[in-house]
Amino acid sequence: MNLVNLPTRQETNRLLLRPFAAGDWTEYAAYHARPDVYAFLYREAPTGTALREQFDRVLRPRFESDGDVYRLAVTLKDGGAIAGEVMLKLESRDALQAEVGYIFSPAHAGKGYATEAVAAMLAIGFDTLGFHRIFARLDAANLGSVGVVERLGLRREAHLRENDRFNGKWGDEYVYALLRSEWEKRSRPAPPPDPENPLGTLTDWDSDADRT
C-alpha cells in the first residue's frame, strides 16, 4: 500500500478535489453547523468551539495508522465554491480496508456532485493507494446516501437491524462495498470490436435462432 504520495489534487469533469485550507473556515462552518446535514451521522451538528476544533483537526490530517482519515474538499471548477467533502478512513492497514464517507452542503445537492466526487475517491483508493476493499456504512433511512453508493455500483453486503440508537430512536444501517477486483473489472475498457464479427452478439442470436 502506498500512503506516501497522497494526492493533493484530483480533477473530475466539474470538480476539483484538494485538501482543506485555513481560508475555507466560513464555507466549512456554514454546512457543518446545519442540523439537517448531521441528521444521519449519529451525532449532533457541532457548534461554537467544538465546530472550530473539528475544523482545526481537519487542517492537520494524518493518514498512517488505523482510524486516520484522508479528506479532500470538493470545490466547483465553475466559481470555486466548496460543495462538500469526501473522506477515506483507514480501517485496516494490514487488511487493506478503507471506509469511504462524504458530507455535502444542501446548497449543492441534487446535481450529482457527491456521486462524482466519491467516484474520484474510489479511484484514488484503489488505483493510487492500493486498497483491497472499500466500504460505506450508512443509515438505511438516508436515501440520498443510498442513491450515491448504488449509482456507483457498490454492493449491499449487510442490513444491520436497529444496531444504533440516536436521540432515543433505533436506526438500521446498510454496509455497501466494492472489492478491488470488481473495480478493475468495471474500469477495464471494453475490448475492441472483433473485425470478423463487428456486431458481436449477432452470432449468438443467429445460433439461438438455429436452435428454435
Ligand X SMILES: CC(C)(COP(=O)(O)OP(=O)(O)OC[C@H]1O[C@@H](n2cnc3c(N)ncnc32)[C@H](O)[C@@H]1OP(=O)(O)O)[C@@H](O)C(=O)NCCC(=O)NCCS
User: Which chain residues interact with ligand X by CB under 6 A?
Assistant: 37, 40-41, 84, 102-104, 109-115, 138, 142, 144-145, 147-148
Cα 38 from Cα 32, distance rounded (Å) = 8
Judged by beta carbon, residue 124 or residue 145, the one nearer ligand X is 145
Give 17 or 148: the residue with its C-beta nearer to ligand X: 148
CB of 148 to ligand X, least distance (A): 5
- Smallest distance, Å, CB 208 to ligand X? 36
Compute the distance between CA of residue 186 and CA of residue 90 in angstroms, rounded to an integer: 23
Grid cell for residue 10: 484530483
* Closest residue to ligand X: CB criterion: 112
Pairing of strands 155-166, 133-139: unpaired
| Pick 175 or 179: Cβ nearer ligand X | 175
Shortest separation between residue 44's beta carbon and ligand X, angstroms: 13
67: left (phi over 0), alpha (psi -120 to 50) or beta: left
CA-closest candidate to residue 145, choices 20, 15, 46, 38: 38
Q: Please state the closest distance from residue 137 (CB atom) to ligand X, in A.
A: 7
